[in-house]
Amino acid sequence: MKHAIALAMAAAFLAAGCKSALKEEAKPPAAGAAQPAAPAGLKGPFQADADGFIRNWLFAGPFPNPGGRPQGDENAPTACRGFAADLLKGEAQYVPQAGKEVPKDGGGKVVWKAIVSDSDTVDIASLIDSTDDTVIYAACWVELEKDTDVEIRVGSDDGNKIWIDHKPVAVVHEHRAISADQDVHKMKLTAGKHLLMIKVDNDWGGFAFCVRIVTPDGKKAPNLKIWN
Ligand SMILES: [Ca+2]
């Protein structure tokens, strides 16, 4: 069955003064959808924090993201070519792993590494030297003991794309400051490990993301374990 793509543009963001906003929400994966096999050697299990925020991640970046919004003109169209490009040469099928190398176009490479954030929000700017016009990937394995209705709640500065078990969940191409729960993705996750991958882009200034996994009442998902 084809996934319905919902496009929510303009009005809310224009009202909020954010002139370049695009949100696309894909239908979330159904319960029982195929889960990719977790590679051997994952580290964990780690606990999400008390509010369900994930602090243990695999991280790869920075990659170039040229063509962002020209400074001083918030109505200008954005290009953000790194955000648009598939820098992993197969994002939707990609299985990240600590130590895995990603060749960069034009030479050089980025190596996936395990990181731990000391707060709810992963401050990407503290992890890399070059933050303007760049994009990064982060990923982890989320394990649940039993089938659970969850909300994956995301915040990002600036935009993000997110995949669960290789399936696109949302594309949020906004230039914005971060706050918790900016995007809420409702889905049922089956028992076992699920691969969560997020791509975050930055035009300029702050560069950060946060992801938490909660039940529909906003409480940390029960028996949630994180692997990287
Ligand atoms: Ca920013």
Tell how far the Cα of 74 is from the centroid of ligand 1, in angstroms. Answer: 13
Query: Average pLDDT, stretch 127-148?
Result: 95
Tell how far the Cα of 155 is from the centroid of ligand 1, in angstroms. Answer: 12
Give the pLDDT of residue 106. 86
Tell how far the Cα of 62 is from the centroid of ligand 1, in angstroms. Answer: 14
Query: Average pLDDT, stretch 188-193?
Result: 96
Give the pLDDT of residue 69. 62
Tell how far the Cα of 176 is from the centroid of ligand 1, in angstroms. Answer: 7
Query: Which of 139, 140, 134 minimizes the C-alpha distance to 157?
Result: 134
Give the pLDDT of residue 22. 61
Tell how far the Cα of 36 is from the centroid of ligand 1, in angstroms. Answer: 32
Domain count across the chain: 1
Tell how far the Cα of 134 is from the centroid of ligand 1, in angstroms. Answer: 10
Termini Cα distance of the chain: 32
Tell how far the Cα of 9 is from the centroid of ligand 1, in angstroms. Answer: 20
Tell how far the Cα of 26 is from the centroid of ligand 1, in angstroms. Answer: 24
Tell how far the Cα of 205 is from the centroid of ligand 1, in angstroms. Answer: 4
Q: Give the integer Cα–Cα distance in Å for 225 and 48.
A: 7
- What is the residue range of 211's domain? 2-227
* Cβ atoms of 196 and 187 closer than 8 Å: no
Tell how far the Cα of 164 is from the centroid of ligand 1, in angstroms. Answer: 24
Is pLDDT above 60 for 162?
Answer: yes
Give, in order, the Cα–Cα distances in Å from 192 to each of 43, 133, 140, 143, 162: 15, 36, 13, 5, 19
- CATH at residue 168: 2.60.120.380
| pLDDT tens digit sequence for 202-220 | 988 999 999 999 999 999 9
